[in-house]
Structures are given as structure tokens and as C-alpha cells.
Homo-oligomer: A and B are copies of this chain.
Amino acid sequence: MVEKLWGSRFDTQPPKEFISFISGRDVTIKEGSDFRLVPYDVWGSRVHVIMLVEQSIISKEDGKALILGLREILNKWEKGEFKLEPEKEDVKLGMEKAGKLHTGRSRNDQITLDMILYLREESLVLLEKMLILIRSIVNQGKKGMRWVMPGFTHHQHASVTTFGHIFFSFAEALIRDCIRLEAWYRLFNRCPLGGAAGYGTSFPVDRKLTAELLAFDGPTENSLDPINNRWEPEAHIAFVFSAFMNHLSTIAQTLILMSTREFNMIRLDDRYSAGSSIMPQKRNPVGLEIIKAKAAYIAGALSTLLSIGQSLMVGYNRDTQWTKYIIMDIIDEVFSIPTILKGIIESLSVNRSAMELQCSSGFITAPALMEYIIQKWDLPFREGKILMEKAVKFSEKEGKERITLKGLKAASAETGIILNITEKEIEEFQQPSRIVSLLKIIGGPSETSMREELASLSRRIRSHKRWYVERRKSLKSARDLILKKEEEILSS
């Protein structure tokens, strides 16, 4: 259960969505899964009716009645007045009176369609949220392009980098998640309608027409395939979210550690922490912890989806009904995360001096100095390394955690490698920001590199946004076409 969150000391109140986020499913009531499918079911049914009329499978009169009936259901649903009843079995039975709706359609193609419409919509909604999150991460990275800090390996300091470089690395990973989500969309943007129970129908249904009216790239190439695989769009998108969540869990864990008293590199905002009124410095990173839990949740759910879809006999099996609940749970868990994480990231404050301080000890700058020496005096890598190891040893004896001129000279003497290096040079090339400026490789932490990456990131984000907008347009056009065709029927 939710802890007492915000002691009286906290100045600002947490956003409502954050409270809801961290209270998880403690008090949330979850609707039956079919409830959210109503609009998709109505959408598909309207298209089916139009096609039945155009193919003269049912009369225009019947078509009119059905269109009006379906609109009424949708209307009720939008007002929150629509009720699902188990004995009525499902959404569609609200229309049972108008039995013709079932001509040339079976529950199998119907529910498969509902699910793909639902998932397609959610994929777009989440894509947009993800892009907003990425932009926010890139922004933080941009701000932090010159904030030096230790680059970690094994939780230990490995070399000098910048806050921005790390954030850019986060952004890159999330862009792959967008690419995956779009690839999912393209792969499954095919209409199953007309496949009936999987083996087709002798009614002359026009699968191309229904596919077009629903903004699909066409009908599925085989009527049975989507029925056999009523776990696959679900498992595939679950994998996309699972990879996404893994990326976020690493961001979360990194921020959790950076915000400990010991690291003291960042501070989460009051609004995004749970605290203690008695230990005012305590800032429990509960939002980030939950993100980690959700990453584990979604990977487990993916495992279920794959398992349900394993070793099934060909054709529909009720086992796959459960994929519906699982993917909806996944989407519910992922849904609010981008917004929350964006809030956390945008509101955190950075302790630049603490980060910089950590760049001045533990000989973290010695490797950079070594690279400088090797290049300037054209030493073989191996000699440079031996020289530096000895310099470390001598400098350490002085009680230092960075290379001293004296230490380096002693090393020089011992190895016989002659360097006319100055104190100034030694200082300069152990100066964190100077070091960073040398890391000019593509994708590296120098400002030069980061400015290039920033341009590239922005370009790519824009291009994904464009893709998103195009999808929305295409959906809009298809909806308009439905309305137009319905009006033709209604007014005939």
C-alpha cells in the first residue's frame, strides 16, 4: 500500500497523475476487457455493414437499420451508459436483434479485428508519448553537454564523460523502440475481416473494401493465419514494450543511484519523490522504482503470451482469449510511464560540483593523460601504458589520486622514456572538461560530437513524428470515407 507520501515539509504537491501512478492498482477499479473494445467493435461492424450493402448481401434497408443501431451503441458508450452483461456474452450481442450483422462474419474474424484495431490505436498513442519523452531526454542531454561526470563501468569510475553524453545514449535506445513500434504497425496493419472462423465464407464479401475503409494496407493474405496466431501481434508489441521498459529501467536505476545520499549527483524534485517529514533529505524515488517493477512485469507477461501461443493445434483455440487480457494489462502498465518519467527528468536538479569533484580522484584522468602522451611523444601504446602505471604508483606514494609531475618524472626515470612534459600540460590534460573536449569521435562526449549527435537526434525525432502524423491522417481519411458511404446508404 501507498506510504504516507508527502510530509508537511514539502512545498509543492505532486501531480495527480503521479499519485495515481505510484498507487498502482491499490484502489483502481479495472473494467472488463470488452468495455474498451466497444468502439473498435462498432467501427468494424459499421464497415462490415457498408460492405454487405455494397455487395448486395443485405438490403439497403437492413443496412440503414444497422448503421443507426451501431451509432446508438457508440453514442451510449461514449456517454458511459453502455453496459456489458456476461449472459449477453459480449459487446456484439447488443445487436443480436439485427442478426444480419453476422452475415459473412464470424466471431473469430470479428474479435481478431477488434484487437488489431485496438492495438493499432494504442501503438500510435504510445508512439506519440514516447517521442515526447525522447525529446525531453534529449533536452536534458543538451543542457548537460558540458557537465562533466564520471563515466561508469561496473558501477565504478572508468573515465570522464558528460551528463549529456549519458542522456543522449538513453535517447538513442528509445529511438530504436520507436522504430520497432512502427515496424510492428507495418507488419500487422492487415485486415482479418472476411476470414470468418478462419476458413472463409461463400458470401461474396469484399475484403479489399473493408480493409480500405479501416485504413489497413490490405486484407490478410490468408484467412486462417490471423486466427492461428491470435497471440502474435500481442507478443510482438509486448516485446517492443519490454525492450522499451528495459531501456527505461536502466534510466531509472541510474537515476536512483545518482540520487542516493552517497552519489549525491542529482536530486529528484519534491513533486516526484515520496519523503519523510522527519528525514527531510529522504527522497524516495518511488516513481523510478515502479518503472523497474513494470519492466519485470511486462517481460513476464511477454513470456505468458509466447507460452499461450506455443504448440497449439491449427485453427482457433480458446486458449488465445487470454492474450486479450494480458496485452491490455501490459498497455495499462506502460501507458502512463512516458509522461511520469518526463516529469521526473524535467524536474530533477543536478549537482554539477559533486559530479565534477568525482572526476578529480581515483586516477580517473590518468588514462586520458596517457593517450595524450602517447600521441604527443609518439610512443608505442605498450610503453605509454607502462610509463603511466609507474607514474600512478609514484603519485600514489605522494598520497595523491591524480598524476603529479614528480610522479611522472620518477616513472620517466625508471623506464628511461624521456618526456619534456610540463606541469601545465599535466594539469591541463587531467582537467576533466579539457579531457572531454578531446573525445571527438562520432558519438562521443565532446561538445563537437554531441552537437552533431543532437542534430541527428532532432532530425530522427522529427521524422518519426512525421510518420506518426501520416498514420493519423490516413486513419482520418478512412473514417471520413466510412461516414460518406454511410450517408449514401442512409440517404438512399
Nearest to A85 among chain B residues (CB) is B27
> Is B37 touching A28 in the complex (CB atoms < 8 A)?
no
A469 CB within 8 Å of chain B: no
A491 CB within 8 Å of chain B: no
Nearest to A114 among chain B residues (CB) is B1
> Is B293 touching A443 in the complex (CB atoms < 8 A)?
no
Residue in B228, B254, B286 whose CB lies within 8 Å of A250: B228
Residue in B93, B165, B249 whose CB lies within 8 Å of A199: B165
Q: Which of A221-257 contact B (CB under 8 A)?
A: 221-225, 227-229, 231-232, 235-236, 239, 242-243, 246-247, 249-250, 252-254, 256-257
Binds B, one of A69-77, A272-280, A416-424: A272-280
Cα(A170)–Cα(B318), bound, Å: 19
Question: A157-175 vs B: 1/0 string, CB under 8 Å?
Answer: 1111100011011111100
Cα(A194)–Cα(B444), bound, Å: 9
Nearest to A318 among chain B residues (CB) is B289
Quick one: copies of this chain in the complex? 4
Cα(A380)–Cα(B195), bound, Å: 21
- Given A243-B235, A284-B154, are A442 and B277 neighbors across the interface (CB < 8 Å)? no
A169 contact set on B, CB distance < 8 A: 222-225, 228, 314
Residue in B108, B155, B304, B371 whose CB lies within 8 Å of A257: B155
Name the residue in A229, A283, A372 with the highest tally of chain B Cβ atoms < 10 Å from its Cβ.
A229
A62 contact set on B, CB distance < 8 A: 380
Residue in B27, B280, B320 whose CB lies within 8 Å of A86: B27
Question: A91-118 vs B: 1/0 string, CB under 8 Å?
Answer: 1110000011011000110110010000
Nearest to A193 among chain B residues (CB) is B441
The bracket for how many chain A residues form the interface is 35 or more
Residue in B26, B194, B250, B314 whose CB lies within 8 Å of A311: B250
Cα(A5)–Cα(B435), bound, Å: 25
A366 CB within 8 Å of chain B: yes
Cα(A176)–Cα(B368), bound, Å: 48
A31 CB within 8 Å of chain B: yes
Nearest to A401 among chain B residues (CB) is B281
> Is A444 touching B286 in the complex (CB atoms < 8 A)?
no
> Is A278 touching B388 in the complex (CB atoms < 8 A)?
yes
Q: Which of A317-331 contact B (CB under 8 A)?
A: 317-322, 325-326
A377 CB within 8 Å of chain B: no
Residue in B7, B100, B252, B435 whose CB lies within 8 Å of A381: B100
Q: In the complex, how many angstroms separate the beta carbon of A168 from the nearest chain B beta carbon?
A: 5
> Is A26 touching B307 in the complex (CB atoms < 8 A)?
no
A-B residue pairs, 5 tightest by C-beta: A300-B304, A200-B444, A1-B90, A27-B32, A296-B307
A selection of 8 A-B contacts at a CB cut-off of 8 Å is A2-B86, A25-B32, A158-B198, A165-B224, A200-B445, A225-B443, A277-B392, A292-B310
* Other contacts beyond A25-B325, A159-B199, A165-B224: 6, CB < 8 A: A26-B84, A151-B197, A195-B444, A221-B442, A277-B389, A279-B363
